[in-house]
């Protein structure tokens, strides 16, 4: 298998013989806001004219047409080799660097590209490979790297969880006192050299040591109370080796991403942060140091600790989600240091209000000094779509309201130029017209919807009967066995199935032909589940492209892109809808398909819906009203759908809230308000159903233990929840005495790995659950939906899951 080390032969070795064939991302023009900018002469990566003070925290790596996704999946399937994958990767990196250089960005990041995840890259850099992957020493190769990310036939993958409050997932490092760290991946240096060979000076980006350690977890067998910060003295020597290599390669800047600083850190953690950077000070000599924070404002004590560091040249702050940091800066900012001001939103797709941002930047400059403000993005642009120029279906008005990553690069530079006195009046005028158009457009506001939302705030929308009584009524109707089995919703999406949907969308096939094709797929999925012996069935969601997009396409107030893809993890990309206006449901969305599927079986068939909080958190949400107002609008639309499903005879309805946890604010002081309205929105959707209608919800890949009481407060009849990939972390909350009276299905196997667990392994997991959960409430199910898996994997894994449930069921009867 290929090695990451293959990139180290020469910085030119992985480059194509000619310039990348990928289309370069576009830039603003005054008329279209997304026409290609003309390149200007450069010398060593900088313009001959005085470079403006502009910076990008990071950039999407997946490619404008998901080039990396397809290259990865082709490589994993054995259809292409190492050279093919590395050529695509080099093309992407080069086009990104060239786009930023040609747009006039001064501080261009490198090492923000990743084949899977930047935290996993840091694990590779530090040689912190769990022993089960069999790595001993040397440069870490693709075989070990992708085994850590995805697992393999013999060992499971490392845990994956949400990156702060985003929909991006990172691979969680597994650390302990016996980990032997070593410099095992030179990727950061290699990519710096690669850019330099193109004539572009970059700022290498590393995950900072505090963020890396505090986002890690104890390895298997290590006490849960193990202090990760005790390892800081072991990893700093590796960081120092990286600094030495970067300096030898000619680097002048280095960026440490320390988003952990926006969290509520205690005194010991802040002291460890200060000590770590003080300890690295001598090794950093000769490098300008930028510490970037993002996703929220920095608390006062963290701000004080951060800005007292002598080795740091510049400090990066998020002024989109952390505007309160302005007050701290007004109270004092270190003299002579640079302020990297994140005023361009890296997490949404709305065009920046350039005039308002310029005022903010000018006020900051008055505080910190002339030429000390660097215009930046609020965070990495990884979390937004790549390039608006690829969107041919969005109408002209809506397009004038938007900016994707490529356009945000131009916004950053335009603001930097304006701050220095070179204002593009035509660009600012076009931007102002777009802002005014959005504020006055009649497509944005619906007075009736606004009134309905105002009314829902007057009730807490709880079901009138306690969950224990509801479960009894439901059991009489459903007659399910102990440890009932089910799946989460989706089944594999084959190439033929995707082709059928594409042809229907392109109007190449008729409604009749399309419905018949989907019906055949339903029949296959239903038959398979019946043969396997699954108790509560799903229809497999063959008619759906994505669990959020499918619903958004049928709701008013939503718009959709053709290529607005955003990386979720690895090769998995999502295409978030754009919520631009008030939301209503013009007609039923799922009743036709759910009714069709229910008629194919005597077993209960779940009606499958996506919940309002997940639709909100997995969309690009309008920023002209509070998020909870938009969420309540979606909740009312889903409520109508739930009631129509019930009228159609669907007795089990699942309302997925996979993203409820990821929307939780990072600061504790803001969490209660969010959880109150998020839980309320879920309850709105099902508050009026009958006791005999069983309401399920599903959550995946987050740390739920700290919000377990809010989950209970959702008042669902059954919750299925990710558990297996996180080493049954969820079960610990029940060991601690939390009582959960509703049905619950902690996942028994990880669907994001091709590995198929045995029936005995799954049975062992079920028995662990029974140690803390009553058999009367326990369900058996996978961690998540099966959309990304192959049918061969699904059949084997589900067969083992059902066999395990039957085995444990028989043991319960005996005992």
Contacts 24+ apart (CB under 8 A), 85-90: 85/2, 85/115, 86/2, 86/6, 86/7, 86/14, 87/14, 87/16, 88/63, 89/14, 89/113, 89/115, 90/14, 90/15, 90/16, 90/20, 90/194
Query: Which whole-number Å values give the CA distances from 769 to 633, 779, 808, in the listed order?
Result: 37, 10, 11
User: Out of 186, 461, 696, 752, which one is annotated catalytic?
Assistant: 752
Nearby residues of 136 by Cβ (< 8 Å), 6 or more positions away: none
Rounded CA-CA distance 761/160 in Å is: 20
CA angle centred on 686, ends 680 and 691, rounded to 5°? 125
Q: Is 341 helix (H, G, I), strand (E, B) or coil?
A: strand
Helix (H) or strand (E) holding 109: strand 109-110
The token pair that represents 627 in the structure block: 């998020």
Phi, psi dihedral angles at 490 (to 5 degrees)? -85, 150
Residue 459 burial (10 A CB sphere; 0-12, 13-18, 19+): exposed
Question: Is-catalytic flag, 752?
Answer: yes
Angle, vertex CA 653, rays to CA 682 and CA 513, nearest 5: 120
Residues 6+ apart with CB under 8 A from 527: none
CA atoms within a 13 Å half-sphere pointing along the CA-CB vector of 426: 6
Helical H runs in 183-299? Answer: 187-197, 209-214, 232-249, 267-280
Residue 580 — φ and ψ, nearest 5°? -110, -15
Q: Which helix (H) or strand (E) holds 712?
A: helix 708-713
**Using CA atoms, how far apart are residues 221 and 201, in angstroms rounded to an integer?**
44
Residues 6+ apart with CB under 8 A from 504: 511, 514
Residue 488 DSSP one-character state:
-
Contacts of 525 (CB under 8 A, 6+ apart): 491, 538, 539, 540, 542
Catalytic residues, by residue number, are 752
């Amino acid at each position: 298998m290929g090695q990451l080390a293959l990139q180290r032969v020469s910085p030119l070795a992985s480059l194509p013989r000619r310039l990348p064939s990928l289309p370069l991302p576009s830039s603003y023009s005054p008329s279209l806001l997304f026409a290609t900018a003309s390149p200007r002469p450069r010398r060593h990566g900088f313009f001959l004219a005085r470079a403006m003070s502009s910076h990008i925290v990071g950039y999407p790596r997946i490619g404008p047409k998901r080039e990396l996704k397809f290259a990865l999946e082709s490589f994993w399937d054995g259809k292409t080799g190492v050279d093919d994958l590395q050529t695509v990767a080099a093309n992407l990196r080069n086009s990104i660097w060239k786009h930023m250089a040609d747009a006039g960005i001064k501080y261009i990041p490198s090492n923000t590209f990743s084949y899977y995840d930047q935290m996993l890259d840091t694990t590779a850099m530090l040689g912190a490979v769990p022993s089960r992957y069999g790595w001993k020493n040397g440069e870490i190769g693709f075989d070990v790297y992708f085994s850590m990310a995805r697992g393999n036939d013999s060992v499971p993958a490392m845990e994956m969880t949400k990156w702060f409050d985003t929909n991006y997932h990172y691979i969680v490092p597994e650390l302990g006192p016996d980990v032997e760290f070593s410099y095992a991946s030179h990727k950061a240096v290699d990519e710096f050299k690669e850019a330099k060979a193109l004539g572009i000076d970059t700022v290498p980006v590393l995950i900072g040591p505090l963020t890396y350690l505090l986002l890690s977890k104890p390895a298997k067998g290590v006490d849960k109370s193990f202090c990760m910060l005790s390892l800081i003295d072991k990893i700093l020597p590796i960081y120092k080796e990286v600094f030495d290599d970067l300096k030898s390669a000619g680097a002048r800047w280095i960026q440490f991403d320390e988003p952990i600083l926006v969290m509520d850190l205690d005194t010991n953690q802040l002291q460890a942060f200060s000590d770590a950077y003080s300890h690295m000070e001598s090794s950093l000599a000769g490098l300008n140091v930028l510490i970037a924070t993002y996703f929220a404002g920095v608390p006062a004590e963290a701000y004080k600790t951060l800005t007292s560091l002598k080795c740091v040249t510049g400090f990066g702050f998020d002024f989109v989600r952390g505007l309160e940091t302005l007050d701290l800066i007004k109270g004092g900012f270190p003299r002579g240091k640079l302020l990297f001001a994140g005023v361009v939103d890296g997490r949404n797709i709305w065009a920046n209000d350039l005039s308002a941002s310029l005022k903010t930047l000018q006020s900051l400059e008055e505080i910190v000094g002339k030429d000390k403000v660097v215009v930046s993005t609020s965070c990495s642009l990884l979390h937004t779509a790549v390039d608006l120029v690829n969107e041919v279906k969005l109408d002209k008005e809506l397009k004038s309201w938007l900016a994707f990553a490529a356009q945000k690069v131009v916004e950053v530079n335009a603001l930097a130029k304006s701050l220095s006195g070179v204002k593009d009046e035509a660009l600012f005028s076009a931007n102002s017209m777009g802002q005014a158009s959005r504020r006055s457009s009649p497509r944005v506001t619906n007075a009736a919807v606004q009134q309905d939302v105002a009314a829902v705030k007057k009730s807490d929308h709880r079901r009138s009967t306690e969950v224990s009584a509801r479960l009894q009524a439901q059991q009489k109707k459903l007659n399910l066995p102990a440890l009932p089995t089910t799946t989460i919703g989706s089944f594999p999406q084959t190439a033929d199935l995707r082709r059928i949907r594409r042809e229907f969308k392109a109007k190449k096939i008729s409604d009749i032909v399309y419905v018949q094709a989907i019906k055949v797929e339903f029949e296959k999925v239903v038959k398979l589940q019946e043969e396997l012996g699954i108790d509560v069935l799903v229809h497999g969601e063959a008619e759906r492209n994505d669990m959020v997009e499918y619903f958004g396409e049928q709701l008013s107030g939503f718009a959709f892109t053709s290529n607005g893809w955003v990386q979720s993890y690895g090769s998995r990309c999502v295409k978030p809808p754009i919520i631009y206006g008030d939301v209503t449901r013009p007609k039923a969305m799922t009743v036709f398909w759910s009714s069709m599927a229910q008629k194919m079986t005597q077993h209960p068939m779940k009606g499958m819906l996506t919940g309002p909080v997940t639709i909100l958190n997995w969309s690009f949400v309008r920023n002209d009203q509070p998020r909870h107002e938009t969420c309540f609008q979606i909740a009312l639309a889903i409520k109508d759908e739930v009631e129509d499903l019930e009228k159609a005879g669907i007795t089990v309805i699942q309302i997925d809230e996979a993203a409820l946890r990821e929307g939780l604010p990072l600061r504790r002081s803001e969490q209660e308000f969010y959880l109150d309205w998020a839980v309320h929105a879920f309850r709105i959707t099902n508050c009026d159903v009958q006791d005999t209608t069983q309401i399920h919800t599903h959550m995946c890949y987050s740390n739920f233990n700290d919000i377990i009481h809010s989950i209970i407060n959702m008042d669902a009849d059954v919750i299925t929840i990710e558990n297996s990939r996180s080493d049954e972390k969820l079960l610990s909350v029940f060991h601690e005495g939390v009582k959960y009276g509703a049905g619950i299905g902690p996942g028994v196997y990880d669907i994001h790995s091709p590995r198929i667990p045995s029936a005995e392994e799954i049975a062992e997991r079920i028995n662990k659950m029974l140690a803390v959960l009553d058999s009367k409430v326990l369900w058996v199910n996978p961690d998540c939906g099966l959309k990304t898996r192959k049918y061969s994997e699904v059949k084997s894994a589900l067969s083992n899951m059902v066999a395990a449930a039957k085995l444990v069921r028989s043991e319960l009867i005996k005992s």
